[in-house]
Structure 1
Amino acid sequence: MDLFNVISVDKAKELIDVNFKLGPKSEYVNLMDSLERIIYNDIISEINVPHFKRSTVDGYAVNSRDIAGASESIPAIMDYKGEVLMGKEPSTNINFPGECVYVPTGGMLPDGADSVVMVEYSEKMDSNTVLINKPNAHGENVVEIGEDISKGECIIKKGRKIRAYELGVMSSLGMMQVQVCKRPKIAVISTGDEIVDPKEEPKMGEVRDINSYVMQAFAIEDGCEPINYGVIKDDFELLKDTVNKAIDEADIVLISGGSSVGKKDATIDVINSLGQPGVLVHGIAIKPGKPTIIGKISDKIVFGLPGHPLSAAIVYKVMVKYCIDKLKGFTEEIFPTVCNFSMNYHSAKGREEYLPVTLTWNENEIIASPVLSKSGIISGFSKAYGFIKIDKNLEGIRQGERVLVYRF
């Protein structure tokens, strides 16, 4: 029985970078279908937004020089030339000193105007005369041409996830088709004689399939397309055929279970039987998740995940998502929550530990408390808000120590 040849998390990621060319492929989708997708290339504006000078208030468009020094005691007397209608070009311009034109919020400024006086600072005396009792600066209450978006400006950088805000920006440019990164396809295979479908009633010694559903849900959350191959019994040929099919159909293959050193844990033999170099890693210095496998078949990456759900979840978040983000062309900005730890906690040196925690609010501070559970307990990660990363060189965390909590 071979034991693990354990390597660090960083070393495992280096091996992935060396052995795999993980980069995004692109496709075009309709604007509304681009929500939550990743931009493939920088988006450069071909137009100015707005493409005309626009008022930000209801008021009178003027030349600011004509109302310099205006006050309530000595208002500027202006000649009223008409009104700009919303969505229309002005039918009149300011051609002579002392003229003004009424403009609604969002309306286009007439030629000759450089600012807009809010209607609150004016008084219309009759159909031809307006009094203005406040001076304006040049450009006041006006959005200039290209002030929002200028022609040639990079408005959305590649690798950005499209939110409603980015979608709105693209709609302002008239972009109805968007080039985005393709969704990676993630094959999910659950193995083990003891695993049964959740629809079945498990017999003594059997458990319902958990990992397939957790991994599929993670893949969907991360913008991927999961492909579920069901539960595969501990049969070498059956698992080999399933993995071989998954290699052809998916970008990443996840095999849940069979990564330990038991007699029936066949994942390593299957990976090695399907081509060189086969297994690259068996054992990562991570807790939980030590018996993780990383293999290479036909230039595709294959992960052998631990059978325990919490271990599999941690390995997915730390290792699998690292690869998915590369396939998506996405680098996520993560801002952890700063908390105080609730107790003294011992951690064995030598392994990078990911400790599930709950959060509570105590007066003016957030308290992080560990979710303590035995290996194989499935409810731990459903109770947790997130996790704390404990460096492999640390022996634990002291009560009251500041920690960073990352969301599950």
Structure 2
Amino acid sequence: MDFYKVSSVEEVKDTINSNFSISLGKELIDLKECNDRILYEDIVSPLNVPGFKRSIVDGYAVKCKEVQGASESMPSMLDLKGEVIMGKMPSKSLEFPGECMYIPTGGMLPEGADSVVMIEYTDKMDDTTILVNKPVAFGENVLNEDEDVELGETVLKAGTVLKPYSISMLSSLGIIKVPVICRPKVGIISTGDEIISPEEYPKPGQIRDINSYLLYSSVIEDGGEAIFYGVIRDDYEKLFETAKKANEECDVVLISGGSSVGKKDQTAKIIDELGKPGILLHGISIKPGKPTILGKVKNKPIFGLPGHPLSCAVVYRIIVRYFLQRMMKFEEVEYPIPCKFSTNYHKAKGREEYLPVTIKNIEGEYIAVPVLTKSAAISGFTKAWGYVKIDKNVEGIFKDQQVYVYKFQR
């Protein structure tokens, strides 16, 4: 395949969709451990919630017809028959006209009652007599037994990312073992003679490893299991063996560096020689991130990512994350922030550009300010809140033009 016969982002996604059909299995995990995990299957309620009629206020359980027409000038007088104890069935019922029972928020409605009068609209004359100053409608201040969740209702769809509110729903249904999609195993390899580990002190010409930790934490954030295979020098045999091992042990392999066409850039050759069909595409029409590789070996994807940190971050965000979400049957819905652009910005036609920006709030209006940095610099995306996508056939952005800012991280 010819290098820089570049593909558009949409063409890359089409290539992914037509070449890979990796399915991840299911595992049952404890309810307390499922935050940020993705549901494997629909959750159908096995019961009604709350399961009984309960009060949503502190007050008095009544028959609504007993307080019809009640007012401060002419209150309804009711006989207090007792009180509802939280967590227990009422020991008494309203059997005769003019009866009521005190009920706390969450208490079970006694037999014979159909509504609850808020305590604010009552006065207690003595231990057995309550004055009601306001009428209630049938069912007012009462939550029915199936009003929250109904038996047989699909409460959570497969592909849902579990968060505290959805986890509390599972808790209310008594589901303590949750079916989630297995985490995809993502192997991470960094390559380059100039790359050293963070604990080492760089000599002239050396740089500490950035991309391994960028990719490692990004994979974890996106629900994967990251496996670090280390920094491999520009040694063809060692890099080949490491990539082969990662391909055998993982669902996805990310190789950072060596994706361009320099003397020591060997990633493309290694992917092609690992197995058929090898490289599917080499070069994407985006900025930053053009020298990106997508390969296929043993029906598994191998991505050759640019060594420059900002380029690597953008390609991960736009392409690799798309693949991982597709594997996990999850489609993220993004809600970009509309902003005014702070300045005139020119770009060359022919490539989509993902421009890092910060957001400022100036007199109640959101302003997107570009973070102008080279793709080799780490500071660009550490300063940026998100990015603006500029279509490939657009030559730039005008000052005060409306743009949409997408967040870099979740």
How do 1:172-187 and structure 2 match up within 5 A?
172-187=172-187
Give the % identical residues: 56
Consecutive unaligned residues in structure 1, runs of 5 or more: none
Cα distance in 2 between the residues matched to 1:389 and 1:22: 29
What residue in structure 2 maps to residue 13 of structure 1?
13
Aligned-partner residue type, residue 102 of structure 2: Y
Cα distance in 2 between the residues matched to 1:159 and 1:70: 52
How far the C-alpha of 1:340 sits from its partner, in A, is 0.8
Query: Is the Cα contact below 8 Å between 2:196 and 2:231 reproduced in 1?
Result: yes
How far the C-alpha of 1:127 sits from its partner, in A, is 3.3
Query: Is the Cα contact below 8 Å between 1:24 and 1:326 reproduced in 2?
Result: no
Change beyond 3 A, Cα 1:122–1:296: same
Query: Is the Cα contact below 8 Å between 1:284 and 1:290 reproduced in 2?
Result: yes
How far the C-alpha of 1:124 sits from its partner, in A, is 2.6
1:375-396: CA deviation from partner (whole Å, max 9, x where unpaired): 4122111111111100001011
Cα distance in 2 between the residues matched to 1:203 and 1:343: 39
How far the C-alpha of 1:22 sits from its partner, in A, is 3.5
Query: Is the Cα contact below 8 Å between 1:22 and 1:323 reproduced in 2?
Result: no
How far the C-alpha of 1:122 sits from its partner, in A, is 2.1
Consecutive unaligned residues in structure 2, runs of 5 or more: none
User: What SS does the aligned partner of 1:326 have?
Assistant: helix
What residue in structure 2 maps to residue 146 of structure 1?
146
Cα distance in 2 between the residues matched to 1:309 and 1:119: 62
User: What SS does the aligned partner of 1:349 have?
Assistant: coil
User: What SS does the aligned partner of 1:162 have?
Assistant: coil
User: What SS does the aligned partner of 1:204 have?
Assistant: coil
What residue in structure 2 maps to residue 376 of structure 1?
376
What residue in structure 2 maps to residue 256 of structure 1?
256
What residue in structure 1 maps to residue 101 of structure 2?
101
1:294-322: CA deviation from partner (whole Å, max 9, x where unpaired): 00010110000011010011000000000
What residue in structure 1 maps to residue 392 of structure 2?
392
Change beyond 3 A, Cα 1:3–1:328: closer
Aligned-partner residue type, residue 74 of structure 1: M
How far the C-alpha of 1:341 sits from its partner, in A, is 0.8
1:337-363: CA deviation from partner (whole Å, max 9, x where unpaired): 111111111111111100111121211
Cα distance in 2 between the residues matched to 1:2 and 1:31: 50
What residue in structure 2 maps to residue 342 of structure 1?
342
Change beyond 3 A, Cα 1:63–1:35: same
How far the C-alpha of 1:407 sits from its partner, in A, is 0.9
What residue in structure 1 maps to residue 405 of structure 2?
405
Task: Single out whichever of 206-215 and 301-310 deviates more from structure 2.
Answer: 206-215
Cα distance in 1 between the residues matched to 2:84 and 2:389: 61
User: What SS does the aligned partner of 1:89 have?
Assistant: coil
Task: Single out whichever of 70-79 and 146-155 deviates more from structure 2.
Answer: 70-79
Task: Single out whichever of 388-397 and 59-68 deviates more from structure 2.
Answer: 59-68
Change beyond 3 A, Cα 1:381–1:127: closer
What residue in structure 2 maps to residue 269 of structure 1?
269
Cα distance in 2 between the residues matched to 1:375 and 1:330: 30
- The TM-score, its normalising length taken from structure 1, stands at 0.97
Cα distance in 2 between the residues matched to 1:337 and 1:102: 49
- The TM-score, its normalising length taken from structure 2, stands at 0.97
Aligned-partner residue type, residue 125 of structure 1: M
Query: Is the Cα contact below 8 Å between 2:309 and 2:375 reproduced in 1?
Result: no
How far the C-alpha of 1:269 sits from its partner, in A, is 1.2
How far the C-alpha of 1:209 sits from its partner, in A, is 1.1
How do 1:120-131 and structure 2 match up within 5 A?
120-131=120-131
Q: How many residues align?
A: 408
1:254-304: CA deviation from partner (whole Å, max 9, x where unpaired): 000111011221111111111110000001101111110000010110000
Query: Is the Cα contact below 8 Å between 2:45 and 2:173 reproduced in 1?
Result: yes
Query: Is the Cα contact below 8 Å between 2:59 and 2:103 reproduced in 1?
Result: yes
User: What SS does the aligned partner of 2:330 have?
Assistant: coil
How far the C-alpha of 1:325 sits from its partner, in A, is 0.6
User: What SS does the aligned partner of 2:87 have?
Assistant: coil
User: What SS does the aligned partner of 2:167 have?
Assistant: helix
Cα distance in 1 between the residues matched to 2:304 and 2:297: 13
What residue in structure 1 maps to residue 75 of structure 2?
75
Cα distance in 2 between the residues matched to 1:340 and 1:348: 21
What residue in structure 1 maps to residue 229 of structure 2?
229
How do 1:186-205 and structure 2 match up within 5 A?
186-205=186-205
Query: Is the Cα contact below 8 Å between 2:2 and 2:282 reproduced in 1?
Result: no
Query: Is the Cα contact below 8 Å between 2:186 and 2:251 reproduced in 1?
Result: yes
Cα distance in 2 between the residues matched to 1:127 and 1:265: 88
How far the C-alpha of 1:367 sits from its partner, in A, is 1.3
User: What SS does the aligned partner of 2:162 have?
Assistant: coil
What residue in structure 2 maps to residue 136 of structure 1?
136
Aligned-partner residue type, residue 219 of structure 2: A
What residue in structure 2 maps to residue 323 of structure 1?
323
User: What SS does the aligned partner of 1:338 have?
Assistant: strand
What residue in structure 2 maps to residue 30 of structure 1?
30
Aligned-partner residue type, residue 126 of structure 2: D
Cα distance in 2 between the residues matched to 1:215 and 1:355: 20
Cα distance in 2 between the residues matched to 1:193 and 1:73: 90
Aligned-partner residue type, residue 39 of structure 1: L
Aligned-partner residue type, residue 41 of structure 1: E
What residue in structure 2 maps to residue 291 of structure 1?
291
Q: 4+ runs of 1 displaced by more than 4 Å?
A: none
Cα distance in 2 between the residues matched to 1:17 and 1:403: 29
